[in-house]
A and B are shown apart, each in its own frame.
Chain A
Amino acid sequence: DTEVTQTPKHLVMGMTNKKSLKCEQHMGHRAMYWYKQKAKKPPELMFVYSYEKLSINESVPSRFSPECPNSSLLNLHLHALQPEDSALYLCASSEKVGETYEQYFGPGTRLTVT
């Protein structure tokens, strides 16, 4: 199974709401990632978790709060978002292939902030 799953597929939230995005993989990968992708732009790295610990935070605003409860699950908690945060949020995990890593992506959550 080389699948990364994300829920929900679509999310509409107001600027005062609190919501969470969920990502799951059962490939035994120990690194998991959140990316943000705006329309017609490449994905931008937000966070990296390695062995369930946050290893990289690409200067993401605090209204985005990641959480890694266990090695298979990654959450992104959202609070007081702005309309410009509307985007496709992609989760990924990686495994070692030889001396390098191959990354697998989920289908994404399409977020709209109203």
Chain B
Amino acid sequence: KQEVTQIPAALSVPEGENLVLNCSFTDSAIYNLQWFRQDPGKGLTSLLLIQSSQREQTSGRLNASLDKSSGRSTLYIAASQPGDSATYLCAVWIDSGYALNFGKGTSLLVTP
């Protein structure tokens, strides 16, 4: 079974810092990897999707990379803001392409 691990589990940084969230997966036979943001008690907002043939995707201050061979992805957040405080979830598509396997998430707190 595909195992997805996210490190760190929690992170607290002062506003303005650049930060990196890590995601690793055990089986490199994935269709794609998706990063989500979740605010407390809310649903999931898709941030970035990287197809298996791609190396990275960018959206605003967010950049996600994918290294399939090593089973790793990173989410880079530039110039962090208090509004970035949330839980960030990494998820990979299993081979069937009909389900996501989620990591446990990284809880991010950006302090003013």
Q: How many A-B residue pairs have CB under 8 A?
A: 66
Q: Is the CB of A108 within 8 A of B34?
A: no
Supposing A33-B99, A48-B99, A110-B41 touch, asked if A102 and B105 sit within 8 A by C-beta, the answer is no
Could you give, for residues 82-108 of chain A, a 1 whenever the CB lies within 8 Å of some chain B CB and a 0 otherwise?
A: 000000101010100111111111111
**Interface check B100, CB cutoff 8 A:** yes
Could you give, for residues 25-44 of chain A, a 1 whenever the CB lies within 8 Å of some chain B CB and a 0 otherwise?
A: 00000010100000001110
**Interface check A111, CB cutoff 8 A:** no
Q: Is the CB of A42 within 8 A of B93?
A: no
Q: Is the CB of A88 within 8 A of B105?
A: no
Q: Is the CB of B98 within 8 A of A108?
A: no
Could you tell me which residues of chain B, from 44 to 85, have a CB within 8 Å of some CB in chain A?
A: 44-46, 49, 51-53
Q: Is the CB of A108 within 8 A of B42?
A: yes
Q: In the complex, how many residues of chain A place their beta carbon closer than 8 angstroms to a beta carbon of chain B?
A: 28
- Per the bound structure, the CA–CA distance linking A77 and B11 in Å amounts to 38
Q: In the complex, how many residues of chain B place their beta carbon closer than 8 angstroms to a beta carbon of chain A?
A: 25
**Interface check A50, CB cutoff 8 A:** yes
- Per the bound structure, the CA–CA distance linking A108 and B46 in Å amounts to 14
**Interface check A73, CB cutoff 8 A:** no
Residues of A within 8 A of B44 (CB): 43, 90, 92, 105
**Interface check A68, CB cutoff 8 A:** no
Q: Is the CB of A101 within 8 A of B93?
A: yes
**A-B pairs with lowest CB-CB distance, top 4:** A42-B102, A105-B44, A107-B43, A100-B32
14 contacts between A and B (CB under 8 A): A31-B98, A33-B99, A42-B102, A97-B51, A98-B53, A100-B49, A100-B93, A100-B97, A102-B32, A102-B34, A103-B46, A107-B43, A108-B43, A110-B41
